Amino acid sequence: MSTQVDYYELLECERTADAGVIKSSYRKLAMKYHPDKNAGCKDSEAKFKAVSEAYDVLKDPQKRAAYDRFGHAAFQQGGGGGGGAQDFGGFSDIFESVFGEFMGGRGGGGRQQARRGADLRYDMEVTLEEAFHGKATEITVDVSAECDTCHGSGAKPGTHASTCRQCNGHGKVRAQQGFFVVERPCPVCQGAGQVIADPCGDCRGEGRVDKTKTLTVNVPAGVDEGTRIRLTGEGEAGPRGAPAGDLYIFLHVKRHALFEREGTTLFARVPISFTTAALGGSLSIPGLDGDTHELKIPAGIQTGKQLRQRGAGMPVLQGRGSGDLVVQIEVETPTRLSSRQRELLEMFRETETGDECPASQGFFAKLKGVFAAE
């Protein structure tokens, strides 16, 4: 990014501001510093670029979340948020998307930029085992894809589109409004810059047709609920050969019968008998890695105590190492006793001194002291 000034400060917004407040603030600042209103003023031009850059990040929920977490490092090469900077579309595009029409008058007059196809979303469920190991799977999606007959041009094979005479291929026409020069899409070519006299019969001049595509999705090990996978160029095809949008795969991890997950840590609640809790023992837990993990249970363990197996949790997404497996003990009181078992427990109770369960003894002593004080 071109500046290290805080984006919220640039847009004069609180960090808790909603999208509407951020957009309103950008509109005000963009109008104030727009180069057409401050011809020749380098400071205003720099300020306009800075607020446009800030708005490009904060208007996008994904980029904003990355910025809130990592700051400017999220958009630097190798930064924690990843990939924000390369999506930056340019200050004029941002201004146009907010105000609905772009204020021209700065020269250039190039051809209208081809309108990119729409991005698509696909929701996919994976099991916790699949999230652990990763997987490659095929999906089918219905999209508007490039027409095979005209190869996306929209023109009948053997013919080609001609330059629009109204806008001379720019795709936009200009009109003077006060001291602004306002550009609008050309009414003849609808902003394409070209006119098709003999359209393709299969796509009717659109350059795209509806298709069902089969795609391979590689799910990496360590994905979590809400992880997003981007398939570049697999979204809707752009009109008349314009670039296609992207397909975003949103992952949802199914609930597991044994394990719960928090980041890279796996949790399991495991009941043990009260005799094992009193005398100690061992516990075998099957892991998602296919191994059986042996955990030693110390004598006198209580409900809620956690035992940790290092490195037996979820793998780090696109990283190295794994989290831990945490087993939370739940001591189970027997509900069905044989007469012999009951007899033995009665004998045990007769030998109790209170030292066997110091927490219980301490609680009742404290309780007695509270009421005695009253």
Digit-coded pLDDT (tens) for 118-129: 999 999 999 999
Q: Which of 81, 100, 119 is the last residue of a domain?
A: 100
| H-helix segments, 183-290 | 274-279
pLDDT tens per residue across span 260-299: 999 999 999 999 999 999 999 999 999 998 999 999 999 9
Question: Which among 100, 118, 152 is the end of a domain?
Answer: 100
Q: Is residue 119 a part of any domain in this protein?
A: no
Dihedral over alpha carbons 123, 129, 134, 135 (to 10 degrees): -70
pLDDT at 373 over 70: no
Hey, which residues does 124 pair with through a beta bridge?
A: 251
Which ranges in 38-145 belong to alpha helices (H)?
42-58, 61-70, 91-99, 128-133
Which pLDDT value is given to residue 108? Answer: 42
**Could you give the CA distance from residue 55 to residue 303 in angstroms, rounded to a whole number?**
51
Q: What is the CATH number of the domain that holds 67?
A: 1.10.287.110
Q: Is residue 86 part of a domain?
A: yes
Cα 323 from chain centroid? Answer: 21
Domains in the chain, number? 2
Rounded distance between C-alpha atoms, residue 127 and residue 125, angstroms: 7
Q: What mean pLDDT is predicted for residues 15-31?
A: 88
Domain with residue 318: its CATH number is 2.60.260.20
**Residue 81, in any domain of the structure:** yes
Domain-terminating residue out of 100, 118, 150? 100
Q: List the domain range (segments joined by +) for residue 46.
A: 1-100
Is the residue at 108 inside a domain?
no
pLDDT of residue 171: 84
Average pLDDT across the chain, whole number:
84
| 166 belongs to a structural domain | no
Structure tokens at 59: 């208007």
What global pTM score does this model have? Answer: 0.60
